[in-house]
Structure 1
């Protein structure tokens, strides 16, 4: 059974995320954030792409598979039902459906990891995308080493 990996960078360093991806032999890091920006050092698109590619991991941003602003707000409130409803609507858009097709085709050939912020995949839209797109795949949630407590 093919696998889809997921990873969140909450409470992790860029190096810990890259290490977890390398340990799983991930070939493509699929950034599924609507806005690939972060206040966390190393997780904005260009920095993350450079680090992934330096480690031998391809990077691709799938904007249309990200969560719109209302969905991100619901996630911050812990309102998973609203997040699921909003994200379900996002996945019905033609642009999202096209990117879903591309991602599914790639995942048939390469080891893919879905990246977003939340550490717990069950609280993140990446679990919703997995459920909608990857029937017949195993989901493997990677957990990068946590930042040391200060």
Structure 2
């Protein structure tokens, strides 16, 4: 499993990277899979991936609520620590925990990439998604 951010990439560059990594399934963990960048919203991205035999899954259960995102810019700040704690609680219970288990099961069978916007995974909730999958005893490469 890899984490990937599309910040600074075109859809063609993103797809090429996924192909080079041998990705079979892309799991989009954006709460709302929309983008101002051409080709990177849900439908267009799904179509571009399908053309390259990469399955697209949007899992809203793993999305980071809008009001929780801005604090991710500084992981060491009190706000950043609190935002990560809130998101960790989200993915450790209810639908979030179910989504992590589903992703862990999928990752046992397929080469999976977890997608969100930020290029630097340290500033993105996908880092916590991948850690949660790792904690579910699934081999994960970052």
Aligned equivalent of 2:30, options 30, 33, 47? 33
Shift in Å, 1:138: 3.3
1:79-111 residue CA offsets vs partner (Å, 9 max, x unmatched): 532331221122134111111111110100000
User: What is the rounded CA distance, in whole Å, between the counterparts of 1:15 and 1:93 in structure 2?
Assistant: 36
User: What is the rounded CA distance, in whole Å, between the counterparts of 2:3 and 2:67 in structure 1?
Assistant: 22
1:33-89 residue CA offsets vs partner (Å, 9 max, x unmatched): 111111111111001111011111000001011101122232357653233122112
Aligned equivalent of 2:47: 50
1:93-136 residue CA offsets vs partner (Å, 9 max, x unmatched): 41111111111101000000000000011211111111122235
User: What is the rounded CA distance, in whole Å, between the counterparts of 1:90 and 1:138 in structure 2?
Assistant: 21
Aligned equivalent of 2:140: 138
Higher strand share: 1
Extract unaligned runs of 5+ from structure 2.
Answer: none
Bigger relative contact order, structure 1 or 2 (CA pairs below 8 A, ≥6 apart): 1
Q: Give matches, 1:53-132, under 5 Å.
A: 53-75=50-72, 79-132=79-132
Q: Please tell me the root mean square deviation across aligned C-alpha atoms, in Å.
A: 1.6
User: What is the rounded CA distance, in whole Å, between the counterparts of 2:65 and 2:109 in structure 1?
Assistant: 29
Contact 1:68 1:90 in 2 (8 A): no
Contact 2:3 2:115 in 1 (8 A): yes
| Equivalent pairs, count | 137
